[in-house]
Structure 1
């Protein structure tokens, strides 16, 4: 009898334990997932960095001069704001930037100092925005330009050569001021500066070494590189990795050999993309802040989005306007707002609330549930999930990509009376909605896009009303906000991670608004990524940079879609996008 009671007691314990685990595990998984997604809204609180001894204190600017520990080959300093350890400090503050600039100007003009190419003013990361950027200032007797080469004694690291973009905007000058980009963290970098005259003659050559500290983020400075089948040359520029999960609050720039050449330090979040305006870039620096940054790393303007968080894309709109996809902090819905930011005044206006613009469809949706594919969003009303925008100035319209509905959507009359113009995707999805009549007709036999990202204008067509769009087709079908079933082709992925022979694709769509059709003009397969990712053209020869975020690879492809080189990287689950930019704020 005792044994039977013990067995019964054990059975009860096991049942209770099983029930407890059934309850605890989903709750724990959901809690961890929420913490993971909350990273995007975190703001950096520790801006400290290692320096040598403090050699001067400028009370006027509340900035200390400290020795930069770069070895014996170059004497350099670092600018340390005296309030860097205080709560709320950030380098993305114009008052802080003005103090740093004031301190820098003071030392440039210090009486008795002669800044020459052999004894330049060298400042490591002067404005706190790029951990391995080296500011140089010096004078030459003749008008010259500076071409520099960085050599590292390590296998797989080729010499890096660039012509410095001077802060003056001049090609030739006697007062040289620029940020030397390309020093590899954690390595001894041998630098050669060549001053070239207006006739192409070499005026002076200066050499020095720099022992660069390790990355601030801890991210690897080397990516795993695999050669592709194409022998076409790669486009000029650097790859910009954007929002690398596990390393949010940084932007990483890699060369064609997969070597890190710049680590940008942000307040939080990460880039959505870089927008260029003369000698400045405009980009996200936290989930609720954008900034203009010049070639020296100096922040010249801040745009704060009080009450909103950025999500997934920014782009130029009408004259003097920036458009941004966002969500209202504490709002009922997520990822369904469009903001207009006046680049002159900084005024932020909500231009579109898609839950109102598409209210009849919105009312058919529900919140994400714990058993949906995107369970980590349980409780969120992510009914549309906008992930890219493209402004069309010719007719004041906007093209957005909606991942949740697997649709590309055009809104006309953006700044007057916004209304839906058309939707492109699987027409069956919209059959029982008020928008069935707005669907463009699919022309040709192909599988339409599912879960797509980064829809971008590519080229004009042969007549007005015809144009081409580039699309990263994730080729992943998932619906988390509506109880609706859609039978998709066997080639379409239905899992977050790769199984069997699934692939994603870069699509080029031909949009014909005159005949209300869309057709697949071109496509090529790329590694499968269920979410995030992009396929974007770069360079003058029509090359493509394709990031497959969940697969943790990006590659450069030729104009025919043949792989030139592929780069494997590490992150937590995904890297959002990778573009390739010439970075003319740094290089001429």
Structure 2
């Protein structure tokens, strides 16, 4: 019996030792994984101070595989486009995809002799398409390096395939090439155990920017000790003017005369944390106000009448035409196969930025869902009468969010109002509430009833009941206004809360227009809205350099990104009012966002 107990005890001790060793091993593995992830994140911040030398310095010249786009040594597939319009032809894009597929079928490509194509679909001038196969399942991490000590290396992990899993077949875009420079692309292949199995370096000269976008922005380092967030700044800005001279024939005698033609070249620009241009997405006369990832594609405005869906390889999958309308602000996705677009109807009597359209992604059908001229009929009539014209710019819709089934939240800049509308698209759309300074709606009794009341919140001190009663007898004392409502706001973001009827609304309060205080500041605002109580409360307010027109704020946990359109710069700062980094553009931006593009271009 004692022998059995002894065996059991020894077995238990061995099990405990084994379990402890296993837990220690798991803990050690977890620490190593966390350490590697932190190193990768640091590497992907694209900051010179975080990098120990440049990747190209570690490669011998003889080991670099040159890539050429022309001449006798041409080994890169290139594509010609006659115009931006041709780039965004889904048929043209499909033809290019078919061409690449044919090349892939007719030859075996390895890492050493990979299939390379420069911007084959025309949708990103700072990118190369690459395709090759490996013997075992693996993933790739690449680094873009240039021989310029002021430009940091750009490193990312490529999405192996559509599913994001390991694969033997690798096809992706190398994003982040530097315009006008010889770029050195190092591709490192890792197996399922995260062990390096192969590495090759290629060199290629990339053309200059088509739009004349700055290769490097002027960057000012701030005093904040917060770490800058990972990602690329997505910049929507005015096009750069280009002057060309054309010869035209005039008069009966057909005299030739030279005429100057001024045009603007537009693009959505991608900048890294060091202010280096890493992407240039062309647009035709209008660059939109936002870019959204919808499943496996990104969607953005091609021009003011068309939007496009583009996949991770750069192929244009589908375009959508706003027949009878022009886009005049941002768009948003409802999560159910529809986008909602702020627009202006065609025609000389059409009121600017007064319509909201629904576009079905399946078939491209366009339906007008909100007409502010009808919904706010009394306000429109009054504005039209004062201006003595029908096409008065009276409402200025500039932002839209889907907040429920057949429900949208609209930002009307010219009315300094946030407006929630339900039953959109029906015969009787309903105004659920308005967030605005109540004085603005005094002339309109029915609309004034929809304006939510300001709430001072639970932290506001309450007077004793008897004191308030005495004061009421002696004089009718008004309660102090707990905060200033927004004036001339931009770029709203809606977040539903778990409590019934509650939501958070973030926005840029431009502090401009009728009723605004002339103090030279704009603000980041975050409201807590309680529809059940009929109130809204200012939960967060951060002062910013003023922009009266355009701009936006993107709020993060530790930092925010602010686009100051009037100042021609954008900044990443902390919530204590200190700057992490400021980027000076030299040209006026409309909006700036920051996206890491994880799950799209990068893993």
Unaligned residue ranges in structure 1 (runs of 5+): 1-65, 371-377, 479-485, 492-501
Q: Please, which moves more after superposition, 508-517 or 553-562?
A: 553-562
SS of 1:366's equivalent in the other structure is: helix
Whole-Å Cα distance in 2 between the matches of residues 552 and 196 of structure 1? Answer: 43
Residues 241-285 of structure 1 show CA distances to partners (whole Å, capped at 9, x for unaligned) of: 013343653110001111110111123311321111222111111
Aligned residues of 1:533 and 1:546 also touching (Cα < 8 A) = yes
Equivalent residue number for residue 558 of structure 1: 574
Pick from 423, 435, 443: which aligns with 2:455? 443
Aligned residues of 2:563 and 2:592 also touching (Cα < 8 A) = yes
Aligned residues of 1:70 and 1:211 also touching (Cα < 8 A) = no
Whole-Å Cα distance in 2 between the matches of residues 318 and 150 of structure 1? Answer: 35
Equivalent residue number for residue 399 of structure 1: 409
Equivalent residue number for residue 328 of structure 2: 311
Pick from 120, 124, 127: which aligns with 1:133? 127
Whole-Å Cα distance in 1 between the matches of residues 422 and 568 of structure 2? Answer: 36
Pick from 90, 93, 97: which aligns with 2:89? 93
Q: How far off its partner does 1:318 sit?
A: 6.1
Q: How far off its partner does 1:380 sit?
A: 4.4
Q: How does 1:84-483 map to 2 (within 5 A)?
A: 84=82, 90-110=86-106, 113-246=107-240, 248-317=265-334, 319-330=336-347, 331-366=349-384, 380-393=391-404, 396-416=406-426, 417-434=428-445, 435-444=447-456, 445-458=482-495, 460=497, 463-478=499-514
Whole-Å Cα distance in 1 between the matches of residues 117 and 355 of structure 2? Answer: 41
Equivalent residue number for residue 489 of structure 1: 517
Whole-Å Cα distance in 1 between the matches of residues 386 and 589 of structure 2? Answer: 23
CA distance 1:424–1:324, change in 2 (3 Å): same
Residues 109-157 of structure 1 show CA distances to partners (whole Å, capped at 9, x for unaligned) of: 22xx332111111110100111121000111111111101112222332
Q: How far off its partner does 1:543 sit?
A: 3.1
CA distance 1:106–1:424, change in 2 (3 Å): same
Q: How far off its partner does 1:468 sit?
A: 1.1
Aligned residues of 1:67 and 1:78 also touching (Cα < 8 A) = no
CA distance 1:258–1:369, change in 2 (3 Å): farther
Aligned residues of 2:401 and 2:408 also touching (Cα < 8 A) = yes
SS of 1:115's equivalent in the other structure is: coil
Aligned residues of 2:401 and 2:409 also touching (Cα < 8 A) = yes
Aligned residue pairs, count? 485
Q: TM-score, normalised by structure 1?
A: 0.78
CA distance 1:283–1:575, change in 2 (3 Å): same
- Pick the structure with more helix per residue: 2
Aligned residues of 2:291 and 2:300 also touching (Cα < 8 A) = yes
Pick from 525, 530, 534: which aligns with 1:512? 530
Whole-Å Cα distance in 1 between the matches of residues 411 and 524 of structure 2? Answer: 14
Q: How does 1:517-528 map to 2 (within 5 A)?
A: 517-528=535-546
Equivalent residue number for residue 69 of structure 2: 68
Pick from 560, 575, 580: which aligns with 2:589? 575
Residues 477-499 of structure 1 show CA distances to partners (whole Å, capped at 9, x for unaligned) of: 25xxxxxxx5x4343xxxxxxxx
Whole-Å Cα distance in 2 between the matches of residues 368 and 334 of structure 1? Answer: 16
Q: Please, which moves more after superposition, 128-137 or 437-446?
A: 437-446
Whole-Å Cα distance in 2 between the matches of residues 368 and 270 of structure 1? Answer: 33
Pick from 536, 539, 547: which aligns with 1:529? 547
Equivalent residue number for residue 18 of structure 1: none
Whole-Å Cα distance in 2 between the matches of residues 158 and 368 of structure 1? Answer: 56
Q: Which of these two proteins has the greater Rg computed from alpha carbons?
A: 2
Whole-Å Cα distance in 1 between the matches of residues 432 and 71 of structure 2? Answer: 58
Aligned residues of 2:330 and 2:400 also touching (Cα < 8 A) = yes
Residues 149-206 of structure 1 show CA distances to partners (whole Å, capped at 9, x for unaligned) of: 1122223321111001234433311111100001111122222110000011111010
Aligned residues of 2:125 and 2:209 also touching (Cα < 8 A) = yes
Aligned residues of 2:300 and 2:307 also touching (Cα < 8 A) = yes
SS of 1:179's equivalent in the other structure is: strand
Q: How far off its partner does 1:211 sit?
A: 1.8
Aligned residues of 2:420 and 2:434 also touching (Cα < 8 A) = yes
Calculate the aligned-residue CA RMSD, in Å: 2.4
Pick from 545, 553, 564: which aligns with 2:561? 545
Whole-Å Cα distance in 1 between the matches of residues 335 and 295 of structure 2? Answer: 17
Aligned residues of 2:306 and 2:320 also touching (Cα < 8 A) = yes
SS of 1:364's equivalent in the other structure is: helix
